[in-house]
């Protein structure tokens, strides 16, 4: 079995790929798509095949998908980029990758999204049944472009897609994030009231129930203590 992973040099991908490689069974292979060959060397040393190119390029997609059985699309254009780039990567390239994979008979396609597609909180943990309400100037086009990709991939003809939330067991506050990174907490931050305390807090009950998922690190603090951040 050959699995293609995109977005391998980002915050998620660069952690995910080494773990995927370490858990390979006999006969399983991993191919990574990188734009810079030099940044793919560390994955090659771990045993991955390396394809070089931009996933926005049709020819690159064809070569990267050759012989592939599964795709994990981790690629994302996040903060600090023009809206045009966010739409081009997060929606257009993701959808093109999904369609190309479907045309080639790829058995499994995993689209990695974001909790930002849910938008505002609902006064409880968010579930996969909640409607997407992306928005907010802080994130630019990121939430809306990710939500658009979700819709097009999930409801494409011939696709029986399924959404799964993935979360740990301990949401953190802004103050905790400052402390986690060793940054002094700004004066007065403790006294501020969050207008939407349920924002981004998700239920992971579906994936636990259906796929047996359990977080390796139940909280960001245990991940830090294990040197996994």
Strands lying side by side in the sheet with 29-34: 49-52, 29-34, 2-6, 70-73, 108-111
Within-domain flag for 229: no
* H or E element at residue 197: none
- For residue 136, the model assigns a pLDDT of 66
Within-domain flag for 214: no
Exposed, middle or buried, 86 (CB in 10 Å: 0-12/13-18/19+)?
buried
- For residue range 146-159, what is the model confidence (pLDDT) as tens digits? 999 999 999 988 88
Within-domain flag for 190: no
**What confidence category does residue 20 fall into, taking pLDDT thresholds of 50, 70 and 90?**
very high
- For residue 137, the model assigns a pLDDT of 66
Within-domain flag for 154: yes
The residue range of the domain holding 74 is 2-163
Rounded Cα distance between 16 and 19, Å, is: 5
- For residue range 75-125, what is the model confidence (pLDDT) as tens digits? 999 878 899 999 999 999 999 999 999 999 999 999 999 999 999 889 999
Domain containing residue 43: CATH number: 3.40.50.720
Rounded Cα distance between 126 and 203, Å, is: 6
- For residue 150, the model assigns a pLDDT of 96
Q: For the chain, give the mean pLDDT.
A: 93
Number of domains in the chain: 1
∠ Cα 53 54 60 (to 5°): 60
Indicate if the pLDDT at residue 160 is higher than 90. no
Indicate if the pLDDT at residue 189 is higher than 90. no
- Which pair of tokens denotes residue 90? 């997060």
User: Under the phi-then-psi rule, with left for phi > 0, alpha for psi from -120 to 50, and beta for the rest, what region is 202?
Assistant: beta
Within-domain flag for 137: yes
Within-domain flag for 209: no
Within-domain flag for 217: no
């Amino acid at each position: 079995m050959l699995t293609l992973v995109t977005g391998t040099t980002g915050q998620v991908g660069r952690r995910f790929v080494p773990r995927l490689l370490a858990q390979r069974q006999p006969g399983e292979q991993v191919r990574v798509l990188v734009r810079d060959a030099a940044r793919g060397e560390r994955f090659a040393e771990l045993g991955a095949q390396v394809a070089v190119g931009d996933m926005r390029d049709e020819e690159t997609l064809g070569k990267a998908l050759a012989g592939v059985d599964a795709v994990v699309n981790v690629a994302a254009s996040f903060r600090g980029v023009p809206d045009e780039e966010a739409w081009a990567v997060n929606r257009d390239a993701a959808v093109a990758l999904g369609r190309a994979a479907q045309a080639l008979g790829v058995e499994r396609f995993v689209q990695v999204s974001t909790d930002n597609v849910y938008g505002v909180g609902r006064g409880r943990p968010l579930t996969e049944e909640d409607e997407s309400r992306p928005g907010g100037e802080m994130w630019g086009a990121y939430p809306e472009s990710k939500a658009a990709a979700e819709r097009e991939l999930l409801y494409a003809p011939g696709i029986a897609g399924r959404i799964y939330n993935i979360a740990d067991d301990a949401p953190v506050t802004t103050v905790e994030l400052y402390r986690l990174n060793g940054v002094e907490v700004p004066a007065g931050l403790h006294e501020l009231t969050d207008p939407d305390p349920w924002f981004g807090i998700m239920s992971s009950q579906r994936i636990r129930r259906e796929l047996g998922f359990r977080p390796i690190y139940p909280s960001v603090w245990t991940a830090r203590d294990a040197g996994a951040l």
